[in-house]
Amino acid sequence: MSNNFVDYHCHLDLYPDHAAAIAECEREGIHTLTVTTTPKAWPRNHDLATKTSYVRAALGLHPQLVAERAEELQLWETYLSQARYVGEVGLDAGPRFYRSIELQKQIFGRILILCARAGGKILTVHSVRAATPVLDMIEKHLPPTRGRVVLHWFTGSRAEARRAIDLGCYFSINAEMLRKERHRDLVKSLPLDRILTETDGPFCQHKGRPVRPVDVSVVVDLLAQAMSREPTAVSKAVHSNLRRIESFN
């Protein structure tokens, strides 16, 4: 297990061959959390993932899709009892999506309340230009005893990161974040015991093609450089963080 990498936010069902993408994670032993953007994708993702050793599926309703798919919250609720992992969920106040922000807040609030009620869920949360409202809502609705939150591609301020740490959140870091100086400085300030790695594939590129979970080793190397640590030390920390999160119930 110690040599295996962790991709804690990836969209395996958005690759041209979903089954092949899963098979690659299995073959390479990459611990992969594959998120969904709509609950309609849950049955197939759940079914394929339950047959694997390394791939886990998350039940999502992506904030960027809320404007057109808010009514799918009902379907999301139907499937929640089957899901240990929840995502991709959260808020997106970027220029293309801020118009639906109030509706996004209603949906995300309901998701957090239901996760808190159920208990034992692990969430991968999107917070583009919305770090403070995301943290406000987590603080209000999902105490650390009732769920684990991993902030995916977090680009908030240092003060917001500090607050997230105090709320018990983890951070999944991808290569794009480490290539931009401002975000790299933020990542450097995070405690190693709250860090996970992710690719957010296929949305990011690696060597001119969509990134895949096997490419997550690059994130470990970039993290090691940024934090002035050995890659093996980073990898070991990520593993122990993974074990700690996964043993939460």
Q: How far is CA 237 from CA 106, 150, 193, 243, in A?
A: 36, 15, 6, 10
- State which residue, 30 or 227, has the beta carbon closest to Mn ion: 30
Q: How far is the CB of 76 from Mn ion (least distance, A)?
A: 16
Q: Alpha-carbon distance 67 to 106, whole Å?
A: 12
Sketch the per residue contact string, 37 through 56, with Mn ion: x for CB under 5 A, - otherwise: --------------------
Q: How far is the CB of 167 from Mn ion (least distance, A)?
A: 21
Q: What is the footprint of Mn ion within residues 71-90 (CB under 5 A)?
A: 88
- State which residue, 88 or 176, has the beta carbon closest to Mn ion: 88
Counting every residue, how long is the chain?
A: 249
Q: Alpha-carbon distance 199 to 195, whole Å?
A: 14
Q: Which residue is nearest to Mn ion (CB)?
A: 200
Size of the site for Mn ion (CB under 5 A): 2
Interacting stretch for Mn ion, rule CB under 5 A, among 47-55, 131-139, 160-168, 195-203?
A: 195-203
Q: How far is the CB of 178 from Mn ion (least distance, A)?
A: 17
Q: Alpha-carbon distance 139 to 73, whole Å?
A: 22
Q: How far is the CB of 9 from Mn ion (least distance, A)?
A: 6
Q: What share of the chain is helix, strand, coil (3-state, %, to 5)?
A: 55, 20, 25
> Which residues of this protein are in contact with Mn ion, per CB under 5 A?
88, 200
